[in-house]
Structure 1
Amino acid sequence: MKKQTYILASLLLVSGIVLAQKSNLKRADKLFEMRSYMQAADIYETNDRTQHVLQNLADSYYYNANLQKAVKTYRELFVNYGDSIDIEFNFRYAQALKGVQDYKEADAHLSKYYNQEINTPAFIAVNEKTTPHTFQLAQLINETGTSSDFGLAFYGEDKVAFASTRNTENPSYSWNNLPYLDLYFATLTNDGKLENITPFSNEINTTSHESNATFSSDGKTMYFNRTNATRTKTEDERIAQIQIFKAEWVDGAWANVTKLPFNSNSFSCEHPSLSKDGKTLYFASDMPGTIGGFDIYKVAVNEDGTYGTPENLGPKINTKHREQFPYISDIDVLYFASDGHLGYGGLDIFRSSLVDGSFDTPVNLGSSVNSNLDDFAFTIREKDNKGFVSSNRSGFDRLYNFARQENTLTKYLVSGIVNDKNSKVPLLGALVTLFDSKGSIVQDVIVGEKADYSFKTEPNKVYKIRAEQKGYISQEFEFYTSGKEKIQQNINFSLEAYKDVEARIKENEKGALQVELDKIYFDFNKSKIRPDAATTLNVLVDLMNKYPLMQIEVSAHTDARGNDRYNLNLSKRRAAATLEYLVSKGIDRNRLKSEGYGETQPLNHCIKPGMCDQAGYEVNRRCEFTILN
């Protein structure tokens, strides 16, 4: 009887533990959906290490920037469940690995994710030479060491505004257990101190989050973030959306706080940045139609106070991951944070210039401003090359000011791409060569898939640069590097195929390009160039003079009648004689090659004596002129 009672009690205990774990797991999942990652992680740690638990636990650490624990948990997940893991976990695991500077393993996961080779160290080496500026960062003195401060913006000529968790009377945010964000303004001293730190009025700061202020040039209009007071239950998660608000400076105070009309309770709009002329507002959003998690958008600000329809900046700027914290400078250079473009780890700062109405390819700002963790909320005054950036590289979000300088490694850089002039297709395998003023080769490169090249040059020198591709007309330029100003040459090559320009140049059945000339005749058993043959060859002379880099193989062929060795020697003599004629007309011998093939390359079935009439054999007696480059 005692034994039965003991077994029953044990079963009840085990059942109770299982039910408790299920209950705890359900609560952890709910917290995870609400992005209460720290609380969710604490509960997940007490549960069995199933695939579901490990995925959410690793993500909880990742989203809270606890990357050491994220790496450890992702590694456990991949070891135990590698065959059944969604590919998106490869990306997050790689980002966590970059955060601890394990680039080798990170690149292995990124290569699998993108289905192409990713080499972060090689990218870093090139980027250090090509990014246009370097930055000298200094952390702003933070009077409350445990708070997070970020998103510092210019507020008039002598003030700045930023977001902070320093108000300990605010409730704690479940994402990171820090107080809710408020907006502050302050005076920035020359030695990097924030003085007279003052919260914005209660018209701006509420019991929710406020952050990321941007101001009009006259200081009378302010846009900022505010988190929605209510949470929205979506199909996958329960979250509070972020919305953009506008405030106006009226009678010495901020008033008329209104929500922008394109906000929604179903998605977030955040991180506003206003152009200098006040006509365009840039922001980040995860609204329907985004390419990735968050994209950069712009919207027209009309003179009557209305707004246009938000426009996505497109795939050149936006990736399938996060693009956030846009900042448009006074000269229309867009700076933004991204973890979708190749970088050093976490969010990196990129820049893109507005050219002819669209933004060009983003450039990573380099290791003097970007770290292996999150770097974001970049602002700059282009006129004095000074600005601010935020980063969590110290474990908390911190504010840094910087002075910007030209990158001396790129000061005398020449770079560009090689395309087909007509199709605009990149010419993979093209040879780009840099020559000095004496014509000696300084450097050359065979371009890869993107058909781009980059050479470092020296000041006060004359260079020539040439692009070549087989079957194309070569192109070259001369340029000078001035020692008095920044010279970053951008030389793009548009090569045109010979066959697209010259009607005489055709592609044969084997894909080789040949110059089609009238038939050249030789006297019987002779190799001397006859007057009629010379007239034909002069056409080739003119063509080679027109294209001084063109190289030609002269090949001679006989028919099948006669001795094999005799035919081979005869064809070699005729090819050599043709070459010598071209040389006599001024064509450089190094541009020519002669070859006799005898009867080995017939164009028809007449491969033996007696098989064909005179006309059939005559087809195979010929000279051919094949373009070698």
Structure 2
Amino acid sequence: MKTRLLILTLILTCAFSYSQTKLADKFFEDFAYLKAIELYQKAYDKGDDSAHVLTRLGDAYYNNSNSEKAAYWYGEALNKYKKIDAEYLYKYIQSLRSIGSFDEADKWFKELSALHKGDSRLKGYNPDETDIYDKLTSSKDVVVNIENVPFNSTNADFGGFVYNNTLYFASARDDSKKVYNWNKEPFLDLFQISLIEDSKAISYDSNPIKIESDAVNTDYHEASVVITNDGKTIYFTRDNITRRNKLAYDKEGTTHLKLYKASLIDNKWSDIVELPFNDKVYSTGHPALSADNKTLYFVSDREGGLGQTDIYAVSIKDNGTYGEPENLGEKINTEGREMFPFVSKDNTLYFSSDGYLNLGLLDIFKSDILKGDRSEDPINIGAPFNSGYDDFAFYINSDTQIGYFSSNRPGGKGSDDIYSFNTIECKQEIKGFARDSKTNIILTGVTVQLLDETGKIIEEVITKDGGEYNFLVDCDKIYNLIGNKPDYKVDKKDVKTDLDNKKINELDLNLEPLIIDNQIVINPIFFDFNKSNIRTDASYELENIVDVLRKHPNMIIKIESHTDSRGRDRYNMKLSDRRAKSTRDYLISRGIEANRIESAIGFGESQLLNQCSNNTDCSEEEHQLNRRSYFYIVNE
């Protein structure tokens, strides 16, 4: 007998735990994390330590920004179960790092790396940030308008430097020139085009022409321009050529790049000078100037570098001579390629690299190293500037946030194309009022939560006298709003912002009151035909009763239960009574004292809500309408 009782107890415990978990799942899916935590915890206390319960507890705390509890439950899951989805490992690492457990996070990162090598987010793991790869392709809080410029040719066009409303760039569009064997396109020349730039867009008032100098462009490559602030000196890259205008080769038969400068004399570039730190056995090119023009930056594959090509700096002295080139070091340079430096007016260094986490080939990065900050690594500026192809030659006007970059991404006109861009900070407002859905009265004291697309709570406000709430959010995102107030049902709204900057999304939250006159009013508690057990949907509704009784500790209620007309009248009277008591027992199981439920009585089919009396042909839905419960307030 004891064995049978033990087995029966285990069966009942498992059934209760399963029901509890299903109910918790429903609240979790509705973003009601605190209620879900309570129910998952209750299931866990009853012996359900399944991976589902443990990870859901972790997720509920994680989404509610409680990193300490999230780490605890993810840790419980990971320690108990070896085969856990990479998503939970990733969140566990995030939670550990959030609470400062860096060593433990590193340990699990190594575990994750061994088990899930293909998880793209882990490629960017570093001591400061684990989700950088996600951010490279995610929406930003700015709108970036990108345009393939109208003057691109079917050959290579790249680079871009603006001075005095003129854009300078390199192009292989001159079909009369010799063909470069590498890509079977003409050699590059330097071109210029007049432009009209305002705060919102760029337009062009002419066609490109070769740079106004016969001495700058030769029969071979010229590219990568930068001009001094006073407009009197231009630096550019050129193939190494002889005095007879022939290509010069090293012992391996390779032609290297060199840096040159020219002076503006009578409105033309002339007096071409080769810079003294060039060499015949390595390349020097891609010039850039510091904001104060006292330092020249360039790219070289010279000996002593850290990778295939590195970025160097050389001081420009007052007498026009140069100091010794210095490698920018491992905070910028890698074992890969660093190329195309550019320094903006605010002294931000931009460059392209394939040596850092990237979306493919060369990506554009930025660094504050020139501002004296050597603590942070370069930042990948992400999509849409970067793609799975080569993205390089970045230029930006720090004042207008308008600029150019180059790319060989699909959809262009030639092998390399120039793209213009302008960036606009994109923010929208979500605002509205919290109201009583029955009376339309403004409600104060409503907790309004803003959740992101994954269900994580990112902001929370409480409505005051005016009943108004508002959130400032990013464009092109999906958000969820949840309004919650004691003695009211939760109201939920979904919002999808678009790319319309400064748009206002007006959305009222209408909370349905739970207490109306002398009743606690919830959606009908339905029962399956001929059964009295509490279904999951019924449990979900009964939690509203639990919340009201907890809020009002002196409240006493009575429960009335009703059946449909199918079956004998006497049987239905007994069935409804079992349902009323089953409802009462559920409330008691949730911690409500038994003496707060004055009575739980069944009325059978004596008070039908429709015409479905004995021997009447009705649908299941019509019969179900009569299977219901009421909750009357006896004492407050």
Could you state the TM-score of these two structures normalised by the residue count of structure 1?
0.45
Could you state the TM-score of these two structures normalised by the residue count of structure 2?
0.45
